[in-house]
Every structure is written in structure tokens, then in C-alpha cells.
Structure 1
Amino acid sequence: MDLAGGGDTTEQTLDSHLTPIAESQRQPGDVEYFGTDAHNTVHVVLYAGTDPATGADMMYEAEKTGTNVHYVGLRTGGYWYHVSA
């Protein structure tokens, strides 16, 4: 799904396919945005769930635009959204 027609992360948080949720409600496939508030963001990650091999919560992210996506440990402290079709 192309949120906000590929716009920046702030535009993406306004997409009708996103519903704000509490961090405790996150599920694999939900997204977390980082920034100064829920609609002024600079980075987004995709929650991958718990890694069965390590038991750690994981996410997919690219360090910055133009870099490869990596599977890494989850960082929290951002704004969570559920993505619907």
C-alpha cells in the first residue's frame, strides 16, 4: 500500500488507511512514526512482531531514504498506527 501517494512521513500519518493506536495495541504490520508529534514526523518503521528465535520485538526500517531495509530490534517512543486496506 502506498500511503499518501508516496509523500513524506507527515503526509502519510494523515492517510485514511491509518488508525492511531496505543503502543500496547500494536500488531505485526502496524507502523510507528517518530517525530515531534503524531503529525510532524521524520521516520517510519514497520512492526515485525516477536522473533521466535530470540523472543525480541523486531521491526523493519531503512536508516534513511535511499538505504536498504533491515530487520532490527524494535525501538519505541513514537506514534503507533494500525494500517487497514
Structure 2
Amino acid sequence: MAPWVLALATLILLLGLFWTVSGLIQIVHGIRTDTRTIAAGPWGAAAGITVLVYPGPSLLGLILFFGIGLILDGAFLVAEGIRR
């Protein structure tokens, strides 16, 4: 197996675990302190679980999401440069 495939698999696994644990921590923190972080917790946990259950489609979605974001960032920077 190619090293880049293992790197992508590792990144997806770490991202899914991070989002899941982060969501659970936000839920617990929201319960203990009565803040609005409790509302963001389930979304983060659900995103993490989704990435862990469906790593292939999640990787494609993340590539598209970040790719579009980078294109938009570049377009905004060019527009700002032209404006100045």
C-alpha cells in the first residue's frame, strides 16, 4: 500500500476521533456549566462518528469542502488586492 494512502487513512481516523471526543467534551462541559456549548457537542460528535463510519465519502467531502474554501479564500485575496 502506498504511503500516502496510509497517511490519508491516519488523518481521517484522527479527525474522526478528534471530532467525536471534542463533541463529547462539549456536551459534558455544557451540562456542568449550563452554557450553549451543549448545543454544539452533538453536532461535533455526530460529525466524528460519521467520519469514522464512512471514511471514503467523508474524505471526498472534506477534500471538496477545503478545496472550495481555498479557492474562495484566494478569490477574496485577489479582490482585496485589486481594491487596494
Relative contact order: is structure 1 or structure 2 higher (C-alpha 8 Å, sep ≥ 6)? 1
Q: Normalising by the residue count of structure 1, what TM-score does the alignment of the two structures yield?
A: 0.23
TM-score (norm 2): 0.23
Identify, as 1 or 2, the structure richer in helix. 2
Larger strand percent: 1
- Greater radius of gyration (CA): 2
